[in-house]
Amino acid sequence: MVPFRDGAIALAVVFLISRIWRFYQHRRRTGYIPGMRFIFSPMNIFGAALPTCSINPGLSWQWRWRKSIYREAGSETISALGYLFGMPALVTRSPEVFRQAVAMKGQFDKPPDGSEFVRQWGPNLFSETGNDWKKHRRIAAPAFGTKTYSLVFTETSRVYDEMLHAEGWTDQDIVDVPVTHNLTTKVGLIAISRCGFGSEIPWTYENFGSSKPSSVIPSENSMTLAEALMIVSVNSILRLVIPRWAYYLPIRFLKRLDYAHHYVSKFMNQLIMSRRSELANGMTSEYTDGHTDVFRLILEASENEGKYALSDEELRGNTFLMLFAGHETTASTMDATLAMLALHPDIQQDVYEQVSEVTERQQLTFDSLQDLWKVQACFLEASRMFPAAFMMVREALDDTVLTHVGPQNLPAETVVVEKGTLVVVDAIGLHYNPRIFPEPEAYKPERWYGIHDNDMTMFSTGSRACIGRRFALTEGTTFLARLLKDWKVEPMLLPNESSEQWRERVVHGVVRISFGIGDVPIRLRRRVPL
Binding residues for heme: 466
Between CA 369 and CA 340, with CA 458 as vertex, the angle to 5 degrees is 65
Gap between the Cα atoms of 63 and 388, Å rounded: 12
User: Are residues 81 and 419 in contact, defined by beta-carbon separation less than 8 angstroms?
Assistant: no
The set of long-range contacts for 237-243, using a CB threshold of 8 Å and a minimum separation of 24, is 237/45, 237/48, 237/49, 237/59, 237/117, 237/513, 238/49, 239/117, 239/120, 240/45, 240/116, 240/117, 240/120, 241/45, 241/46, 241/49
User: How long is the chain?
Assistant: 530
* Residues ≥6 apart with Cβ < 8 Å to 390: 62, 63, 426, 427, 428, 511, 514, 515
DSSP SS3 for 46: helix
For the chain, give percent helix, strand, coil, nearest 5.
55, 10, 35
User: Are residues 97 and 77 in contact, defined by beta-carbon separation less than 8 angstroms?
Assistant: yes
Closest CA to 226 of 267, 258, 255: 267
**R_g of the chain computed on alpha carbons:** 24
User: Are residues 44 and 59 in contact, defined by beta-carbon separation less than 8 angstroms?
Assistant: no
| CB-facing half-sphere around the CA of 322: CA atoms within 13 A | 26
Could you give phi then psi for residue 404, rounded to 5 degrees? -140, 165
Q: Residues at the annotated binding site?
A: 466
E strand segments, 367-504: 391-396, 400-404, 413-417, 422-426, 487-491
